[in-house]
Structure 1
């Protein structure tokens, strides 16, 4: 086999982050009775949360903000769009969100089947994720994926973030994998694909959204089952 070690991204590649986060935010919406606080439309609130979350993650990836600020400020800014300025509530919601979110277990179609297929073929599977250590571990357990992966490398433990080469070097060192025998599989062109290229890895772009790539991966798939054509 050309490849021995397969490094997967988790969120948006295997674990359906958008569906799971929407469900978790709906729970928060009910728990904190946001409809009684002037946020009458949940779908609009979720759209604003998603908007701010994306921007804050970009800032976090560049080292401009810390984890704690990301966790509560995405709530605060979304509420502020409804003219609700309540930092205490936002901080409480930030904590509750990370308690609720990892319990959600929606994955993309064919996730378990492809992980089983790859494991049975003798590939060694790992994860490289920009997520938080305890949160990502819990996601894997709740979605019944933990047993497929030998190692999970998070930005929190490696002290680096994709696409920086350091997190990939950390992963290769921890797993004993060589770049020529390894491949990065993910949905994010900048973090996963460019990051993998920076580290000297071949890459697979999991193009769930059928977008036009601005970075050229080694392979592109539009459904996880198509990985069987590569491996």
Structure 2
């Protein structure tokens, strides 16, 4: 028998909010600002950044480590990668964080019926700033910054920690996110039901791992599928 859902947890980046410019545009601008030719793309960073979460002191340190390694792997000097990381931070600081359509409405509506949590990969200070920017800083009973409060997603650890704080259990919880590799895989590892909202139009016919529910937009959550 399926247990009744009592807890809903969300991812943050590209699930509830997004930057006004994509990471690929910001990275290209950072290489240009640093005065060097681009030698790797944003997907390389996205594929590697989780490896640096536990050992980095903050997001600036993480980017300098990761960008440095990626640049060395591309056959260039580490100092170039570090300069690009600093330029990336400068360009990003000029960007605005925007809520995705329906974010506030969905969170407010679900908050009337369910206990809410946030489980996000990223530094606490940076993620809190994003929540404040989109008007959702006080909507979640707990915020777990995976990679800092617990191991990074897709480890089950941050999900376990959030449910412990919310006094809930995996069979009574659902997780909403945009990433198969981090969100759906992590929720599955921890035993939560998953709602996948792809951030792009390129969706595989048989996503792996398979989410319990796939939605086209966050706004569809006004009518929960569980």
Alpha-carbon separation, structure 1, partners of 2:91 and 2:126? 8
Q: Which runs of 5+ in 2 are unaligned?
A: none
How far apart are residue 123 of structure 1 and its match? 2.0
TM-score (norm 2): 0.77
Please tell me whether the aligned partners of residues 183 and 203 of structure 1 are also in contact (alpha carbons under 8 angstroms).
yes
Please point out which of 142, 151, 168 is paired with 2:159.
168
1:184-230: CA deviations, max 9, x gaps? Answer: 11111122112112211111111232411122211110111111232
- Change in Cα spacing, 1:17 to 1:214, as seen in structure 2 (3 Å) is farther
Q: Does 1:116 align with 2:116?
A: no
Aligned-pair RMSD on alpha carbons? 3.4
Instruction: Call closer, same or farther: CA 1:82–1:158 in 2, change over 3 Å.
Output: closer
Quote the residue 1:129 is aligned against: 120
Aligned pairs, how many? 217
1:10 alignment partner, one of 8, 12, 24: 12
> What secondary structure is seen at the aligned counterpart in 2 of 1:158?
coil
More helix by share: 1
Query: Equivalent residues in 2 for 1:51-200 (5 A)?
Result: 51-60=43-52, 66-67=55-56, 70-76=62-68, 85=77, 87=79, 90=82, 93-94=85-86, 97=89, 100-101=92-93, 104-119=96-111, 121-200=112-191
Structure 1: 5+ residue runs without aligned partners?
40-44
- SS of 1:146's equivalent in the other structure is coil
User: Is 2:173–2:193's contact at 8 Å kept on the other side of the alignment?
Assistant: yes
Q: Match for residue 223 of structure 1?
A: 217
CA apart distance, 1:17: 5.0
TM-score w.r.t. the length of structure 1 is 0.76
2:69, 2:81 within 8 Å by CA — same for their partners in 1?
no
| Deviation per residue, 1:166-187 (Å, 9 max, x gap) | 2211111122122222111111
Q: Specify the SS of the correspondent of 2:104.
A: helix
